Structure 1
Amino acid sequence: MFATATRNFVEEVDPGGLLIPVRSPNDSLTLLTVVVRQKRFWFWQKPKHLPTDFTLNDILTGDTIAPDVIETDFIKYNGTYSDNIQGTMDANFIHSNMNMKGEESSKLQSSFGSLKKDEVDVRKLLQDSKNRVLDMSHCLIQQTRKNRQVFGIVKERIVTSQPCCVIEEMQQTGQCAGTLSLCGPKSPKVSLKDNGSLSKDSNVTMEIRTNTTLAYALIELEVKHDGRYELCLMSNTKGGFEVDSPGKEGLQGVTGASVLKNPEISRLRQEMDHLCGHFQLLATLPASAKSSLLQHITAVLEDRTSLSALQSMLDQMLLDKSADIADVPLAHKENIQAVLDVLVESEKGLAKTERSTTVLRAVHLVTSALDELTSDCLAALRVCCSADVLKIMELLVKCVSASGESPASGADLAVLTEDVLSNIEHLFASANVTLRRDSDAVRTEINHKPGNRPLIMCIALRGLYSLAH
C-alpha cells in the first residue's frame, strides 16, 4: 500500500527521471545514506535499490564529512487512483443454467500534502571527497564488492512536512444463481434452484509521520583499488569497483548489458526472436497449467505490491534461495502460492544445469515485464486479459516488431467495445507506440525515445497470449 502510493507519486512527478520510490516507511533514509544497486536478471529491468543502515561517513577513513544541505519547498501532492471492473457469465446446458455476476472497485488515496526537498550541495561534497579513502575492510564494502554490486549515496530526498495518510478502499461483490432440472421416464421431474451472493469491503488507513522519506535520488561511486572514490555526477555514468571488468559489471540479460536507446524495429524483432523459446515453452504447457498461471497472474495484477512480491519470490527461486510465502501480502497470497505450485511441479526431475529454459525462467521473464509497467498500464491490461482480446493484441505486437502493418484489421478492432479499445490504445501509447487505423489496415509507429518500453510491452503481451492459447 505504501509502496504503491510512493511508486504512483514518482510516476506522476518524475516519470523516467532520477527519483526512486521508497518501498517501506521503515526505510529511514537520510542524506548520504549508502544504497546498494542490485543486478537484475534482464537488462531492461530497472535496477533494484537496497537501502543500508550505513552512511558514507560510516565507511570512510579519517574525519567525517559534514555536507551543506539545501532545503526547499517541493510540491503539494494529493492523488486518487481508482479501478472498477465488472464481469458477467451465462451458461446454458441441457438440464441446467448458470448466471454469475461480479464487480470489483478499488481506490487508493494518497494525501501527502505539502512536501519539501532536502538536497546535498554537490559542489561542496565533491570538494570534501577529494583524496578521501573508503575503508575497504568494512563488511558492507566486502559483501558488495564480492557480489559485484554498486554503491550509491542519497543526494536528495522528498520528505513529508506534516502528518499525512494513505487510504485504500476495496469493494468486491458477486452473485451466483443456477437451476438444475432432472427428469427421466421412471422418476418425477426434480428442479433445484440455488442463489448466492458474496460481498467484501475493506477500508485501510495508514498514517505517515512528518519527515518521512517518499522518494530519493542517488550519486553512484566509482571505487578504486586503494579505496579512493569518485562521484558519478552524470546520470548516464554508472559506478562500480575497479576490480570489476566491464564484462563482469554488466547486467545479466538476454543479449548482454547494453540498453536499447531509440530502438529500431529490427533490433526489437531481434530481441523478440531471441526470447521466442520462452514463449513457445509456455504455449506447450498442459491446458490446466496454462489456465492456472493466466488466472492467478492476472489476479495479482490488481495489486502492485503483490505483483512485486511475486517477482521477488521468483527472483529467489532462480537464485536457488528459499523464499518464505509468509512474508507475502495477504491480498493475493493464494494466487501467488498457486503460481509457485505450478512452477514447482514443472521443475520436478530437472537438474540445475537444465533450468535456463524452464517454465520458471519463462514465467519470470513475463512477470518481470509486467512489473516494469506503470500502475495505469496494469489497470488497462487487466481489462484486456480475455483470450479474444489477447489474440488481437498479439497481432499488434507482431505489427510493432515487424513491418509496421498488422495482420489485425480495422474490422478486428471494430468488434471491441469502446472501453477495451481505449485501454489497448492507452497501453500501446504508454509504450511509445502509436496505433493508426486506416480503413481495413492497422499500422503502428514507434515514437523513438530513450528506454525499452516497446520491448517490455511486447514481452508482457506475448507472454500472456502464450498462456491464453
Structure 2
Amino acid sequence: MIRLTLWGEMFDKVTQRLVCQIDPDGDLIAVSSLIDSEKLQPLAVVMNRPSRWFWQTTKYRPTGFTLNQLLQGEYIQPELDQKELVMYQKTHQGSVSGSLEAGGSALSVSVGGSGGSALSSSLGTLHEETVNVFKLIEDSKQRKVDFHHPLLKQMLDTFKQKWEFTVVTTRVFNTSESKIKYSSIMEGSSGITPQLVENIKTKVSGNVHSDTNCVMKIPANTVMAYNVSGLDIKSDGQYEFILRGFICGKQSHQAYPLSGVKTELEEVKSLLCVLDGLSHQSRSPLLLQLRQILLDREHLSVLEDRLEELVYDDAPSLYHSSCSHSPHQIIDTFLDLLIQSDTTSETSLSTESTNPGASMRLSKQNQSVLVAMYNLVSAAMGLTDDGLLLLADICSSQELKSLNDLVTLLTHHSQPLLLTHLPAPLQSEDLLRRVEQLFSSSNVVLKTEDGKLWAVIRRKFERLPFILCLVIHGLAYLSEKQQ
C-alpha cells in the first residue's frame, strides 16, 4: 500500500511539472494517476466540478465512458491530428530543514528535521493528439444522448448542481516506455511533553531516519495531460459543445502594487477568521500537523477532498474516524484534531459515544470551522510546490505573525514602507530573504532600496499573489496569539 501511494505521488508530481513546463498559461490538465490515464481516450467523458471560488482549481474526474457510449444510434468516428510535441527529461532536487514547537499548558509538541530528495523523469518523445472539434460539431448535429445510460441517470438526477459533462479533445502521451526515479533521505526528531503537575514535566521523544529509492516504469501510450471541451446536454437529449475562446494580445509587463488585492482579500478573510476562535490547545497541534501536510502536495490534495466531502456532500453531517492503517494516517489525525477542536466560546461537537473514533455529529460552530479550513487548504493547493515548501519553513507562531503583519501592511499601502517600520523579526536578513523567496514563488517581487520596501505583482491578473496572502492570513489565525 505504501509503495502504491508513493508511485501515485511520483506520477502526479511529474505530470504537474510537465504541464507547467510545456503549457504554463494554457488549458492542459495534468493526469494525476495511471488509472485515470487508461480512461482518457479521444472523446472520453470527464466530469468537471467547477470551482466554488475564483482562486480554486477546477476538479476533473474521468468516468471510463466515451461520448459514443452515451449516444443513441451509430458511433461518431473522430478525426484525429497527431504531432510530435517535445522530448522531455527533467530532474528536480529539493531540500528542507527546520523545526517547530507548539503547545499549551497541557501539552507541548516539537518536531525538527532535515532532508533532501531528487525526482527525475525520462519520458522520451511526447506526442499531442487533437480531435477536429469543428468536424465533431458537424457530426453531432441532430444527435441525442441516451438518458437511460447509467452515467447520465446518476449524474443528472443526483448530482445535477455539482458536476458538468466534458469530453477529451486533446491528449499528450509518451511513445515509448518511460522511467521515473525518486530518492530521498530524511532525518528527524520529535518530542511530546505533557505537563502533568505544575513545574513537573515528562518527555517522550524519538528520532526518525528514512531512506527511499524507487524506480517507476511507465508503458508507452500513457496519457500525461489532456484538455476537454464542455458538453451542454439539453432536456430533449440533444447536446452542444462549449468551446473556450482565446484572446490574443501582448502580455503587459507593467508592475502592479500588491495593494490591488486588498478588496477581494478582505471579503474572503471573513471566511477564515473563525479559526481564530479556536482555543490555544486546539490551534497549536493543528498548525503543527498542517505544516507537515504542506510539505506533501498529495497529502494536501487528499485533505482538500476529505474536507469537501464533510462540508458540501449531501450525506448526513456525520464524521467517522478512519482506520489506523490508512495510507493517509496524517490526514486522519489532522481531521480528528479538527473535529474535536474546542472554541473559546462553546463546545464544538456532540458525541453519541465516548469511545475513541466514534461517530461525531457536527455542530454549527464546528461546521463553520470545517468550512474555514476547507477554504484555507483549497487556497494552499493553488500555490506552487516551491511556495508550499518555503511557507512550511516559516510556520512558527512568531514568524507567521510577522509575515501576516507584513501582508497587511503591503496590501493596505501602495507606497513603500520604511524597513525600520517592519515587524522586528523581519528586520533579520535571513528571515527577510526567505520571505522574499516565498513572495517570488507567487510572482510577487519584494523590492528594497534606500531603506524602503514595497511589493509589486509581475502580471495584473495573476491569481498567485492573492492566494499567497490568503493562505498566510489563514495560517496566522492558527498560530499562537501574541500578547
Q: CA deviation at 1:425?
A: 2.4
8 Å CA contact 2:93–2:118 kept in 1: the answer is yes
Deviation at residue 352 of structure 1 after TM alignment: 6.3
Q: 1:118 to 1:373 in 2, by over 3 A?
A: same
Report the Cα offset of residue 33 of structure 1. 0.1
Is the contact made by 2:311 and 2:367 (CA closer than 8 Å) also made in structure 1?
Answer: no
Amino acid at match of 1:294: L
**2:84 pairs with 1:70:** no
Check if 1:162 corresponds to 2:157: no
Equivalence for 1:463: 474
C-alpha change, 1:50 and 1:302, in structure 2 (3 Å) is: same
- CA, structure 1 residues 388+285, in 2 after alignment: closer, same or farther (shift >3 Å)? same
Q: What is the aligned counterpart of 1:371 among 381, 387, 398?
A: 381
The match for 1:310 is 303
Q: Secondary structure at the match of 2:185?
A: strand
State the match for 1:23 in structure 2. 32
Q: Once structures 1 and 2 are overlaid, which stretch shifts more, 80-89 or 347-356? A: 347-356
1:60 Cα deviation from its structure 2 partner:
1.2
- Residue 50 of structure 1 and its aligned partner are, at CA, apart by 0.6
Q: Please, which of 140, 159, 167 is the counterpart of residue 153 of structure 1?
A: 167
Name the structure 1 match of 2:19. 10
Letter in 2 for 1:14: D
Instruction: Determine which of 322, 336, 340 is the counterpart of 1:341.
Output: 336
Retained in 1: the 8 A contact 2:90–2:122?
A: yes
RMSD: 3.3
Matched, 1:281 2:292: no
Residue deviations 1:386-424 (CA, integer Å, cap 9, x gap): 33332332123213432224767366544131xx54442
Partner of 1:111: 122
Alpha-carbon displacement from aligned partner over 1:247-289 (angstroms, at most 9, x marks no partner)? xxxxxxxxxxxxxxx9997873333323334443222322221
The answer to whether residue 414 in structure 2 is matched with residue 404 in structure 1 is yes
3-state SS of 2:34 partner: coil
Amino acid at match of 1:112: L
User: Could you tell me how far apart the structure 2 residues matched to 1:436 and 1:45 are?
Assistant: 28
Amino acid at match of 2:335: L
Of all paired residues, the percent bearing the same amino acid is: 30
Q: CA deviation at 1:230?
A: 1.8
**Secondary structure at 1:393's aligned position in 2?**
helix
Output the CA distance in 1 between the equivalents of 2:44 and 2:321. Answer: 28
Counterpart Cα distance in 2 of 1:328 and 1:4: 24
Call closer, same or farther: CA 1:399–1:328 in 2, change over 3 Å. Answer: farther
- 2:379 touches 2:467 (CA, 8 Å); kept in 1? yes
1:218 aligns with 2:228: yes
Q: Which letter does structure 2 place at the counterpart of 1:318?
A: V
Give the TM-score, by structure 1 length: 0.79
> What number of residue pairs does the alignment pair up?
417
User: Residues of 1 paired with 2:131 and 2:27: CA distance?
Assistant: 15
Partner secondary structure for residue 235 of structure 2? coil
CA drift of 1:21 comes to 0.8
Change over 3 Å in CA distance of 1:308–1:270 after alignment to 2: same
Q: Deviation at 1:353?
A: 7.7
Instruction: Verify the 8 A CA contact 1:395 1:408 in the aligned structure 2.
Output: no
Aligned to 2:105: none
The one-character-per-residue Cα deviations of 1:32-71 (angstroms, maximum 9, x if unpaired) are: 0000101444342111001011101011112211111111
Q: Distance in 1 between matches of 2:16 and 2:321?
A: 24
Instruction: Name which of structure 1's ranges 139-148 and 298-307 shifts more when overlaid on structure 2.
Output: 139-148
2:113 is matched with which residue: 76, 83, 102?
102
Q: CA deviation at 1:235?
A: 4.2
Query: How many Å separate the matches in 2 of 1:54 and 1:264?
Result: 47
Show the 5 A alignment for 1:45-444: 45-87=56-98, 102-146=113-157, 147=159, 148=161, 149-174=163-188, 198-235=208-245, 268-319=261-312, 321=315, 325=322, 330=327, 333-346=328-341, 347-349=348-350, 354=364, 358-405=368-415, 409=419, 412=424, 413-417=426-430, 420-444=431-455
What is the alpha-carbon distance in structure 1 between the residues aligned to residue 186 and residue 35 of structure 2? 30
| Cα distance change on mapping 1:283 and 1:68 into 2, 3 Å | same
Task: Quickly say closer, same or farther: Cα 1:327–1:401, change in 2 above 3 A.
Answer: farther
Task: Show structure 2 runs of 5+ residues with no match.
Answer: 1-8, 102-109, 192-203, 248-254, 342-347, 351-359
Give the residue type in structure 2 aligned to 1:271. E
- Deviation sequence 1:295-316 (CA, Å, 0-9, x none): 1111011211111111111111
Quickly say closer, same or farther: Cα 1:58–1:175, change in 2 above 3 A: closer
One-letter amino acid of the structure 1 residue matched with residue 29 of structure 2 = I
Deviation readout 1:100-124 (Å, 9 max, x if unpaired): 9732212222221221111112222
Residues in 2 aligned to 1:442 and 1:309: alpha-carbon distance in whole angstroms: 38
Which residue is equivalent to 1:34?
45
The two structures have a TM-score, normalised by structure 2, of: 0.77
Q: Unpaired runs of 5+ in structure 1?
A: 91-98, 178-193, 238-261
Equivalent residue letter for 2:155: T
